[in-house]
Structure 1
């Protein structure tokens, strides 16, 4: 017969075994990545991950241990066993859900589940659309399997609570229970060392997947929920004065450099089109696949192409801030989540309003998604058109209105739009689940094929829009800016940090361009954050407040692009690319020609830009 006092260690052991088994499920789900690891790595994943597994088991054991101690003191009339089973069942469902969601999230986003998805809880329809390409039946089966495994494991390892022996005093029993509870402090902290356990303690390999696999998902979610962004700066690599000096060097340019004039009119209309997930890998003019984006490639040949531009981040809301405010992204959060901070950012819309522009923002989905609306309202747009403004018949996408419907609405509205105008349009059809309202051009049912067809459709809708736009009176004085909100792992399943995942197109087109500017290709390395200063320079509007943005048409000694991914950064220069893991505190990849200075510049940029974020 089991001893009553074996309950607490058995309960802790139950959760510990469960987390080890969940780690095995993660490795099996991502079997191609697992089998590609060097020999001997998998056992080390379990070994190094054990500290976070034990910490999570200890956190989940705290309440049951206290209930156990209380029941020992109160006696048999306290329904301890039922309460413990109910608590464990609820916790098990939550943990199983997190574990299952993490499997597909990691495949799509390249990082373990944290608090990021909570940004989208107020738009459940958009969350469901994002998961449209996930293998739902498989994930449901995994979820059910985890629940069954947990139930069987609980029965085997814990079982029913044994009554207190008649000859054992309640006070003594409560003291024993409290002593076991106090012992949880050791696994809670990850050991007896001075600093409590954190992510970096389980990072052991030069293979990012191995490090990620060692992380415990519930611990990661809880840690990111309670991690405050009020400071201190977690990305402190050097003295602040040194970091500021290195960043200032990146933005230094010859004082006598004249502005390259691309426009034939001083105050053209600006049609700013943000293309969802348009990776350079599918744009022929930027070295990608041919015949996927014929419209964009044609505009690149007759307009101005910036062929070496990188997104500042990997999510739509991050791309918006980078493009419209010229502001860098943050590695584990996004400034768009903090309206108080975004109120202090510069905005293209506000800058152009001061120059006499009228504005309108178009999106076929819900602007509340990822807190975008608060940011855009702060930007000062005069009018908004979003999902609710389209009829039910027009909401023919899982996200809302497909792109050709959006462009049709814009064509109608622009006939009466006051000029000069700054009109921003954000497409959505090339977002997961990649459903399109026209026949597919490319064969295949793989996710890459579906994505390729969705990009082709948006390009088709863009071409359809431009053919009519060119016949409108407002076209003669219009500059069109076409740029992606971010890149994409597909095609090719790029790793989370890969520069090809962040490489995006940027094209200036429209009748407002000078004839001699047409066909020009700017090959200098640049960032999404540089679009704002580049556009404002062409319009003769001050970009002084856009301190993180530089004019791509003014030569600089150190052209660069900086991008953030979850807990890391990439730094691109003509010398090559270095990607850096903030948790492991070492480069992930580094080109042969990349100097030590470039690594330091990337660290300085992250340190300085995050310090600026904290001050907002």
Structure 2
């Protein structure tokens, strides 16, 4: 009903509430197009079909941002209080100013990026406070910004005015108070609970067990090119989601001109052999700590230890192995960037930082540019762990998850499709792909609560830890995959890379330390190349997989990777990992570095239990390792901050 005298529409209480929520989404929608048109030269080649995905994804992030910024408003509008109180003018005036202030801030954040984006090429995060913390002339900078970009000030004023105007256009209708008070409170309480549930779902991006709150990286699933994620995202969302994420700081221990002499992630291959278009299959095994693999541990338990992976042991015997093999993180979400992009995690998982949307050319993208078909398989519900958006962002064209498997009879009820049937599905799909292809698969079954399918209960050795039975089950699934794959014409023209995502709980003292808790199997298997076998005493880490695969294929273009090609290096290799502090491995030595100074040095080959600190006795070695890790951290921080993750000329 319209009040003609006041020019306002009078709606029911909850109708007015819904209108205010939709008003915020409308304003965010307008901001997205203003952001695009003011930066249109930075987003070339976007077609109508692209916009459909961008806007559908944008709505998801707008809803999350709206819920973050309007949680107080939602509480005030839905909390079960007396009807006469919630409809009183003073109460509604409080609601009105909460709406204006919170959404005014959200609009301001969006407006800032209308201009600031063109300088940073990313949405503004909370790191902006630390970036300008030491500026002596903040007020002068702000004033110059307002003068130079006066039209953005007018846009902000216009959006704010539109918000106020449209807010006032709809008011709560003066209905009669409810006559049945108990019914009113029951209804109000039900709506309040429902509102809380829907808000949680909106912020998380869904209600599935495997769904975590959506992050900046989840925008990648809606775009073709990585920089287009900023059209999907909105600044209020990015700002909220980066709160509590400690921003990286630029480091200057070495001059930019000479740091490459100490360490550089830039690779310029000098390979004279032609590029070999072998298929590449990367198999990532959930929680397969090195302790579980008998091949690496023949000396354990006085030589009686056999491990829990008989098939993997047999495969390792005909593969290329580097004895000291390490994960670069302790979480599943650390593994994909480390393996596919050669980018480690620091204090926070890389995919949860604002730098995840930096422009990169990861292994799948580089191979796609050489004509490879690219795919990734993960038996969990699509979107789980953020793998779908990240793999899309790094150039993987085809994703196969629980949705594509399309048979819930093989669902474990929590994490995803059991490994055995999903690996069979993987093999069938590989048979249908054109060669050359790049494909990755991430297993799921060796997860808490550590169950195996009913028909396999009691079939595998359990061990002292419940995860070991699941590891044996996945090992069997892997064997069945290879039994079928080896009969296919593409098999001998394929390089297989098998790596755990991270280590897990252990029960041998040799693995209950800083060396053991990142030790994993990494196996390079090329069935058509009998010369590519043997055990090397050196180091390999997940970061080395991308450059090593490219080296094996004789890729000759420049690229950026924080690891190294282990097939063409001088020395025993290195590994990096952050866990409350920096760990730097060089050969048989492990250095602890707190960001300012070295705090410990151990020779884990001679001292498996890591009881003897060599920092004082081997000061020269520690100093050399400290220089390397400082250069590594500086390259990592500065390149992420500056969005310099692509090699010049690549």
TM-score for both structures, normalised by structure 1: 0.57
2:374 is the counterpart of 1:337: no
2:527 is the counterpart of 1:527: no
Query: Quick one: distance in 1 between partners of 2:334 and 2:319?
Result: 27
Partner of 2:277: 267
Structure 2 CA distance for partners of 1:404 and 1:267, relative to 1, 3 Å:
same
Unpaired runs of at least 5, structure 2 = 1-201, 213-239, 299-304, 603-612, 644-650
Query: Quick one: distance in 1 between partners of 2:327 and 2:364?
Result: 20
Aligned mate of 2:255, from 219, 238, 241: 241
SS at match of 2:209: helix
Structure 2 CA distance for partners of 1:287 and 1:224, relative to 1, 3 Å:
farther
Structure 2 CA distance for partners of 1:245 and 1:522, relative to 1, 3 Å:
farther
Structure 2 CA distance for partners of 1:568 and 1:256, relative to 1, 3 Å:
closer
2:313 is the counterpart of 1:297: yes
Query: Quick one: distance in 2 between partners of 1:482 and 1:600?
Result: 32
Deviations 1:557-582 (A, max 9, x none): 462111112x3121111251122345
Unpaired runs of at least 5, structure 1 = 1-117, 129-222
CA positional deviation for 1:338: 4.8
The answer on whether the counterparts of 1:536 and 1:543 sit within 8 Å (CA) in structure 2 is no
The answer on whether the counterparts of 1:122 and 1:369 sit within 8 Å (CA) in structure 2 is no
The answer on whether the counterparts of 1:240 and 1:608 sit within 8 Å (CA) in structure 2 is no
Aligned mate of 2:499, from 475, 479, 483: 483
Structure 2 CA distance for partners of 1:317 and 1:553, relative to 1, 3 Å:
same
CA positional deviation for 1:597: 2.2
Partner of 1:279: 289
Query: Quick one: distance in 2 between partners of 1:539 and 1:298?
Result: 25
The answer on whether the counterparts of 1:360 and 1:423 sit within 8 Å (CA) in structure 2 is yes
Please report the RMSD computed on the Cα atoms of aligned residues, expressed in angstroms.
3.5
CA positional deviation for 1:393: 0.6
SS at match of 1:393: helix
SS at match of 1:570: strand
2:316 is the counterpart of 1:232: no
CA positional deviation for 1:444: 5.8
Partner of 2:567: 553
Deviations 1:449-504 (A, max 9, x none): 21111111111110011111111222232221111112223234899971211111
Equivalent runs, 1:407-422 vs 2, <5 Å: 407-422=423-438
The answer on whether the counterparts of 2:539 and 2:572 sit within 8 Å (CA) in structure 1 is no
CA positional deviation for 1:227: 3.7
2:614 is the counterpart of 1:604: no
Structure 2 CA distance for partners of 1:247 and 1:254, relative to 1, 3 Å:
closer
Query: Quick one: distance in 2 between partners of 1:290 and 1:250?
Result: 39
Aligned mate of 2:344, from 328, 335, 345: 328
Query: Quick one: distance in 1 between partners of 2:279 and 2:271?
Result: 23
TM-score for both structures, normalised by structure 2: 0.54
Query: Quick one: distance in 2 between partners of 1:416 and 1:256?
Result: 32
2:483 is the counterpart of 1:470: no
Query: Quick one: distance in 2 between partners of 1:281 and 1:401?
Result: 25
Partner of 2:589: 576
Partner of 1:309: 325
SS at match of 1:515: coil
4+ runs deviating over 6 angstroms: 118-121, 252-259, 493-497
Deviations 1:205-230 (A, max 9, x none): xxxxxxxxxxxxxxxxxx99734555
Query: Quick one: distance in 2 between partners of 1:341 and 1:224?
Result: 13
Equivalent runs, 1:46-445 vs 2, <5 Å: 125-126=209-210, 226-227=243-244, 229-233=246-250, 236=251, 239-241=253-255, 245=258, 248-250=261-263, 266-287=276-297, 289-331=305-347, 333-338=348-353, 341-389=356-404, 390-437=406-453, 438-440=456-458
The answer on whether the counterparts of 2:294 and 2:308 sit within 8 Å (CA) in structure 1 is yes
Q: Which is bigger in relative contact order (C-alpha 8 A, separation at least 6)?
A: 1
Partner of 2:171: none
The answer on whether the counterparts of 2:522 and 2:540 sit within 8 Å (CA) in structure 1 is no
The answer on whether the counterparts of 1:286 and 1:307 sit within 8 Å (CA) in structure 2 is yes
Query: Quick one: distance in 2 between partners of 1:256 and 1:427?
Result: 33
